[in-house]
Amino acid sequence: MAPVIIVLIILVVLVFIALIKTIQVIPQASAAIVERFGRYTRTLNAGLNIVVPFIDTIRNRIDLREQVVPFPPQPVITQDNLVVNIDTVIYYQVTDARAATYEVASYIQAIEQLTVTTLRNIIGGMDLERTLTSREEINAALRGVLDEATGKWGIRVNRVELKAIEPPTSIQDSMEKQMRADRDKRAAILQAEGVRQSEILRAEGEKQAQILRAEGEAKAAALRAEGEAQAVRTVFEAIHAGDPDQKLLSYQYLQMLPKIAEGDANKLWIVPSEIGEALKGLSGAIGNFSARGGGAGDAGANTNTERREKPSID
């Protein structure tokens, strides 16, 4: 009985192993390469798959999702003979599991070497300044070359990114000094522009103030002249309404003479010819007044004093 039990146990184990090798479960977004006696037979897709145990073998399981592979910095020489270190990141996806298995031994290493050689060819035709400012152009050119070369490997390169471009230390110091000088220059220009704008605004303000001041003075002078004209007109109308005679005008004229002579600057002043007429009119007025007042004085002076004749003012 013991040998029979041992044989049964061995048969159960063999059946169990055969079932395990027969049923193959492939995860989603994955594929498996099946070989029969070392020759490619078929590709297993996601799900439950049946293979012939001990005859079919799984050669390779490949992830069909998009992969991200960073490559170490690579020294690249620019057109102006400067060495820069460039870090690259490749986004790729396996589209044909059979080609990725049999067309290239190691597609990761192949993509890396192809990236390095293509990057050197592209950067070799650019100077340092263009290299630092043309990342999009470099990414597009690198992606085009990689996508064309890796198509036969069953791989599609989706994106290529330059993670870092590091020029030499001396060049970095020179670039920092240049950037600092450019910033100082822009600051000086902005400051000068601000001062210029401030002066322009100040001049515009002064100009506007002078214009407003001149307009105000002109309006004030016009109003003042209009007021004086109105005053003269009122006085003139009042004089005409009062109908003054020559004697009153002569008296007023004589009253204005002291005001004409006022002031320390009036060293010389001219007496108009009309002063004679004014004096004659005033003389006649004073003579008439004396004649009227003198009759009453003679009546009272007969008893005490004799009559004195006052000279007439010619």
pLDDT at 269: 55
Position 32 pLDDT exceeds 90 = yes
Residues 6+ apart with CB under 8 A from 16: none
Give the whole-angstrom CA distance, residue 199 versus residue 194: 9
Position 243 pLDDT exceeds 70 = no
Query: Averaged over 119-130, what is the pLDDT?
Result: 88
Query: Averaged over 158-175, what is the pLDDT?
Result: 82
Exposed / middle / buried, residue 97 (Cβ in 10 Å: 0-12, 13-18, 19+): buried
| DSSP helix/strand/coil, 299 | helix
Query: Averaged over 4-13, what is the pLDDT?
Result: 81
Give the whole-angstrom CA distance, residue 13 versus residue 19: 10
pLDDT at 79: 87
Give the whole-angstrom CA distance, residue 117 versus residue 122: 9
pLDDT at 176: 76
Q: What share of the chain has pLDDT > 90, as a percent?
A: 14
pLDDT at 312: 39
DSSP 50: E
Confidence of residue 105 (pLDDT cuts 50, 70, 90): confident
pLDDT at 66: 92
pLDDT at 295: 45
Position 255 pLDDT exceeds 80 = no
**Range name among 33-47, 102-116, 210-224, 274-288 with the lowest pLDDT average:** 274-288
Exposed / middle / buried, residue 90 (Cβ in 10 Å: 0-12, 13-18, 19+): buried
pLDDT at 15: 79
Residues 6+ apart with CB under 8 A from 220: none
User: Which range has highest mean pLDDT (223-232, 251-260, 293-302)?
Assistant: 223-232
**Range name among 4-18, 83-97, 131-145 with the lowest pLDDT average:** 4-18
Pairing of strands 47-50, 23-26: antiparallel
Q: Report whether 84 contacts 159 (CB < 8 A).
A: no
Please state the φ and ψ torsions of residue 185, each to the nearest 5 degrees: -65, -45
pLDDT at 238: 73
Confidence of residue 4 (pLDDT cuts 50, 70, 90): confident
pTM over cut 0.85 = no
Task: Tell me which H or E stretch contains 97.
Answer: helix 97-102
DSSP 312: P
Confidence of residue 178 (pLDDT cuts 50, 70, 90): confident
Position 152 pLDDT exceeds 80 = yes
